[in-house]
Amino acid sequence: SSVPHQILVHVAYRPASACSTRPDVWGFPRRNLACYYGTPGATYTYYFAGSTHCLNDSIVEFISTSPFRVQKGSIYQRSNYTWGVTVTWTSPAGQTGLQPFCVAAVDNNGQTSNQWCVMIAVGASNPSIITPTFVQGTASPLGTVMATQSRFSIQ
């Protein structure tokens, strides 16, 4: 028997006129890969900013891997090389768990920044975070490992 597969391939190139440095993104008050705690049914507002490094470049989109019910405002220019967007999220009432939230900036040449990611622990009053430590001296978890987690990956 056979099983059909569909493969999506995205081919990207950097135009010759594009800046040699990719854009940057930031926005969560805590560091990249941090963990927040949240209350079910509460509304949270975040401001994200992206910057370019070359004249005539601009941020045209903020892409995200985010929880459901996220509402994104219009992108606006903050300064010569910086653009911003406001994002609002209401966590579903009665639903708890870990919600990953990542954002990246895209410039007018199609170049994408690195992602800025956090984990929102909905329903946790103040998560007990385990500091990453070496496992048998060979590898350690990347990011935040919650005390309630029984599984995590090593990269």
Mean pLDDT along residues 104-111:
90
pTM of the model: 0.67
Q: What is the pLDDT of residues 19-30, one digit of tens each?
A: 889 999 988 777
The number of CA neighbours under 13 Å toward the Cβ of 30 is 13
Which region among 96-105, 117-126, 142-151 has the lowest average model confidence (pLDDT)?
142-151
CA 76 to chain centre: 19
Mean pLDDT along residues 39-43:
89
User: What long-range pairs does 84-87 form, CB within 8 A, spacing at least 24?
Assistant: 84/47, 84/48, 84/49, 84/50, 85/47, 85/48, 86/45, 86/46, 86/47, 86/48, 87/45, 87/46, 87/47, 87/48, 87/62
What span, in angstroms and rounded, lies between the C-alpha atoms of 64 and 59?
14
Q: What is the mean pLDDT of the chain?
A: 79
**What fold characterizes domain 24-124?**
Immunoglobulin-like (2.60.40)
Give yes or no for residue 63 having a pLDDT over 90.
no
Domain ranges of the chain: 24-124
Give yes or no for residue 132 having a pLDDT over 60.
no
